[in-house]
């Protein structure tokens, strides 16, 4: 099955499908409203997407009374909007990825005071004892009174 944007129609067929004269398609190509792909011999090849664009240009021109300069501006703004939407989706994916990474790091850390008063990083589920850490069986899992969250560079001791 052909892709929707795959060039497949010569100018005469595209003109017929769009309900226009072939010379109108040539003019729209010169104006940059619809730019079909080209063959090696410079012949125009229109895709299904190009045909849809031609129909939309015809609708804006005939039904809405918009001139070609106005249609060109509408197309430019539409293209800018699509590019901005793509960038927004990309940034949202990146934001989500970074949040997931931060959440994963945060869920595995607990900061507490060590025996000498230094702030230390203790893995979740562990607690400090007099000589090191031991596995917490639930006693320390109660909500701590105060949790100090410092960036890793400021911690002085890292316990396994």
Q: Rounded to the nearest 5°, which phi and psi values hold at 153?
A: -65, -20
The span from the first CA to the last CA of the chain, in angstroms, equals 57
The predicted pLDDT at position 116 comes to: 81
Q: Which pLDDT score is estimated for 112?
A: 75
pLDDT (0 to 100) of residue 131? 52
Q: Which tens digit of pLDDT belongs to each residue from 70-114?
A: 999 999 999 999 999 999 999 999 999 998 888 777 666 667 777
Q: To which H or E segment does residue 129 belong?
A: strand 126-129
- pLDDT tens, residue by residue, 73-84: 999 999 999 999
What confidence score (pLDDT) does residue 142 get? 39
Q: How many CB atoms lie within 10 A of CB 54?
A: 23
pLDDT for 42 equals 87
Taking the model in full, what pTM does it have? 0.55
Q: What percent of the chain has pLDDT over 90?
A: 51
Regions of the chain where pLDDT drops below 50: 1-2, 132-147, 154-155, 158, 160
Cα–Cα dist 34/11, whole Å: 12
**How would you write 37-89 as a 3-class SS string?**
EECCCCCEEECHHHHHHHHHHHHHHHCCCCCHHHHHHHHHHHHHHHHHHHHHH
Residue 68 · residue 27 · CB < 8 Å: no
Helix (H, G, I), strand (E, B) or coil at 151: coil
């Amino acid at each position: 099955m052909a892709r929707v944007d795959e060039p497949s129609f010569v100018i005469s067929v595209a003109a017929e499908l769009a309900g226009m004269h072939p010379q109108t398609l040539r003019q729209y190509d010169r104006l940059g409203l619809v730019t079909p792909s080209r063959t090696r011999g410079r012949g125009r090849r229109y895709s299904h997407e190009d045909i849809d664009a031609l129909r939309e240009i015809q609708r804006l021109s005939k039904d809405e009374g918009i001139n070609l300069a106005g249609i060109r501006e509408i197309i430019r703004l539409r293209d800018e909007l699509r590019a901005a939407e793509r960038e927004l989706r990309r940034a949202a994916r990146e934001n989500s990825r970074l949040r997931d990474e931060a959440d994963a790091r945060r869920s595995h850390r607990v900061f507490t005071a060590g025996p000498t008063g230094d702030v230390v990083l203790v893995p979740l589920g562990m607690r400090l004892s007099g000589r090191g850490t031991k596995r917490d069986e639930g006693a320390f899992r109660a909500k701590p009174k105060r949790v100090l969250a410092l960036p890793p560079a400021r911690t002085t001791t890292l316990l396994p």
